[in-house]
Amino acid sequence: MSTESYDELEEHKSNKSSDAVERIQSGFIHFKTHKYLKKPSLYNALAKSQNPKFLVFACSDSRVSPAHIVNFQPGEAFEIRNIANMVPLFDKTQHSGTGAAMEYPITKLNVENILVIGHSRCGGIEALMSIEDDAAPNKSIFIEDWVKIGTAAKNRIKQEFGDLSFEEQCTLCEKEAVNVTLANLLSYPFVRERVEKGKLALRGAHYDFVNGTFELWELDVKTTTAFTFS
């Protein structure tokens, strides 16, 4: 590489880095000016403790922010985000990060509601639905094993709606995978105990950012929704 080409590459990298830093700085300034300084009582209270009422599982997808979707305020919801908003079955030796992230808000903060939010055009669900039962493992290091948590949802959709298009099947699986997560949550002793005592409510939801709708349903409901907001 010539010296000129190297210098141009370094300048490009520097500009990209500067753009990223500027975005972070301007974002914080906007937050502090328009939110933090305008609600001193809220942030003073949050500096002392937190008392969230919700534990929210949502996808890591950049288009799906629970705080924006349902307008949660700071201190109102404890959030856990991962690929396809999944929760594995209870196992002390595996997925301990997920277990720890759940145990704290449930047993220490005593949240009263768990909300699992699926969403439209989920890449994790598409990856799950694309896995062939007899195919060799793909080249992903973590993704395929993780999304297989939702295999029961995939199998149900393939079996009952195999005549639909792949896209339509994915949409149905986005919702059914939420139900699998809700069921898996009950495998955690500290979740089941509180649900049985009426201290903790579990709900599923599906956010469609294509059509601007939000569906909400109770734990024991499958694909039939209790409420639809548009």
What residue segments make up the domains of the chain, in order of their start? Answer: 1-38, 49-229
Residue-by-residue pLDDT tens, the chain, 230 positions: 555 665 665 666 667 778 999 999 999 999 999 999 999 999 999 999 999 999 999 999 999 999 999 999 999 999 999 999 999 999 876 778 899 999 999 999 999 999 999 999 999 999 999 998 655 566 788 999 999 999 999 999 999 999 999 999 999 999 999 999 999 999 999 999 999 999 999 999 999 999 999 999 997 634 344 455 55
Q: What beta strand segments (E) does 86-174 contain? A: 113-119
Question: What distance in Å separates the CA atoms of residue 77 and residue 67, rounded to the nearest whole number?
Answer: 8
- Residue 122 known to bind ligand: yes
- Residue 34 known to bind ligand: no
DSSP SS3 for 91: coil
77-82 vs 54-59, strand pairing mode: parallel
Q: What is the pLDDT of residues 83-133, one digit of tens each?
A: 999 999 998 767 788 999 999 999 999 999 999 999 999 999 999 999 986
- Residue 119 known to bind ligand: yes
- Is the domain covering 49-229 a CATH 3.40.630.30 domain? no
- Residue 206 known to bind ligand: no
Residues 6+ apart with CB under 8 A from 227: 215, 216, 217
Closest CA to 174 of 229, 127, 227, 104: 127
